[in-house]
Structure 1
Amino acid sequence: MNGAGSAKRPATGEAAASGRAVAATRTGPGGRPGSGKSSEAAEGHGSGPGKSRRFQAVTRDTARPEGGGRAAPGDAPAPARQWPLLAVLGATGLGLLLVAFDAFRVGTLLIGLAMIGGAALRWALPSVGMLAVRSRFTDMFTYGGLGVSIVLLALMAQPKAWLKIPFLDDILHFTVR
């Protein structure tokens, strides 16, 4: 608790002010807030002055997903830069609105088609903005798989299903008996 430890390593408030990520201080022997030592040094987690093996709270080196750049030039307004995401969200919102107004099958089909459209946009465009969440393949597989599943479920919804798959009826009758 002498001044030597605090001279080598700044206190928690000073480190936060300098932009470094510092874990919250814990109370304990030698690690009291304001004692000049951070909780890392007090707990023996550092490998030297200013060094810590603990998990840092701020990520500094994360790359954007491939294709995650703007879909329009930087001087365009924000909605124009994110038009692929807004198109998918708009179609999904319209589908949810139709479902709310008792057009279940049509609304659900629109939601599924919006997901399939998102997969198509992810495949066709080099930059789709925030529609890019993961790698291109993973996004296409996820959006497309969800879209096809939702469309098939909407087509098979009862009563008066638009699509009948015979083996599914057999499985249902077998499990309900």
Structure 2
Amino acid sequence: MSPETGESGGPGGSSDARDLTREAVPPDEAPGTGPARAPARRPGTRRFPLFTRDTARPEGGGRAASGDAPAPVRQWPILGVLVLVALGLSLTALDHFRVGALAVGAALSAGALLRGLLPESGMLAVRSRFTDVVTYGVLGLVIVLLALMAQPDPLLHVPFLKDTLHFTVGG
């Protein structure tokens, strides 16, 4: 058994095999004095490193306009969605619930459309493109459907909704 490597020089093994988990340090550099290095990964392993140094930007998460444009112009997709949501919430507060909720649902649906069509959508990109489009789209659709079914005088009638309510409440 070799004292340096912990390997035996038996059949199939070599006495100069190296431990691939340690990073080689040049003899003239003491540990901790050299340039910062990322820990070496063993070949053939798919393990993530113990410490991450950065977070990957989601696909399409770059600026929606050039870097020399002012910040609001660079982030116009998220600002458009937020303005529509603010308009919907203010309409809801002004006693126009259905119109306000429709505006919020339309804003989320527009966010799904922008996220799906624009190559760079700025801060509208939170996760992968597929996940963002599905999340924004489903939430927008649900809010629109709930706004259309809101009482009194619903615009959308769901035939089994009354039976479901009686079944769940027990009335």
Q: TM-score, normalised by structure 1?
A: 0.67
Determine the C-alpha separation between the residues in 2 that align with 1:8 and 1:116: 55
After TM superposition, give the deviation of residue 9 of structure 1 in Å. Answer: 6.4
Structure 2 segments unaligned to the other structure (5+ residues): 1-29, 37-49
* Residue 121 (structure 2) pairs with residue 128 (structure 1): yes
After TM superposition, give the deviation of residue 168 of structure 1 in Å. Answer: 1.3
After TM superposition, give the deviation of residue 170 of structure 1 in Å. Answer: 1.5
Counterparts of residues 136-151 of structure 1 (less than 5 Å): 136-151=129-144
CA deviation profile, 1:10-57 (whole Å, cap 9, x unmatched) = 9xxxxxxxx9xxxxxxxxxxxxxxxxxxxxxxxxxxxxxxxxxxx75x
**One-letter amino acid of the counterpart of residue 91, structure 1:** L
Structure 2 match to 1:33: none
**One-letter amino acid of the counterpart of residue 68, structure 1:** G
Structure 1 match to 2:151: 158
After TM superposition, give the deviation of residue 175 of structure 1 in Å. Answer: 2.4
60-69 vs 122-131, greater mean Cα deviation: 60-69
- The count of aligned residue pairs is 129
Determine the C-alpha separation between the residues in 1 that align with 2:116 and 2:110: 10
**One-letter amino acid of the counterpart of residue 80, structure 1:** V
After TM superposition, give the deviation of residue 61 of structure 1 in Å. Answer: 2.7
Q: CA RMSD in A?
A: 2.2
Structure 2 match to 1:76: 69
CA deviation profile, 1:42-88 (whole Å, cap 9, x unmatched) = xxxxxxxxxxxxx75xx523210000010000011100000000000
After TM superposition, give the deviation of residue 143 of structure 1 in Å. Answer: 0.3
Determine the C-alpha separation between the residues in 2 that align with 1:125 and 1:165: 35
* Residue 91 (structure 2) pairs with residue 98 (structure 1): yes
Determine the C-alpha separation between the residues in 1 that align with 2:124 and 2:168: 40
Determine the C-alpha separation between the residues in 1 that align with 2:132 and 2:167: 36
Structure 2 match to 1:113: 106
Q: Who wins on radius of gyration, i.e. which is larger?
A: 2
After TM superposition, give the deviation of residue 173 of structure 1 in Å. Answer: 2.1
Determine the C-alpha separation between the residues in 2 that align with 1:102 and 1:117: 24
**One-letter amino acid of the counterpart of residue 158, structure 1:** Q
**One-letter amino acid of the counterpart of residue 126, structure 2:** V
Structure 1 segments unaligned to the other structure (5+ residues): 1-6, 11-18, 20-54
After TM superposition, give the deviation of residue 138 of structure 1 in Å. Answer: 0.3
Secondary structure, counterpart of 2:156 in structure 1: coil
**One-letter amino acid of the counterpart of residue 75, structure 1:** D
Q: TM-score, normalised by structure 2?
A: 0.69
> Of Structure 1 and Structure 2, which has the larger fraction of its residues in helix?
1
Secondary structure, counterpart of 1:166 in structure 2: coil
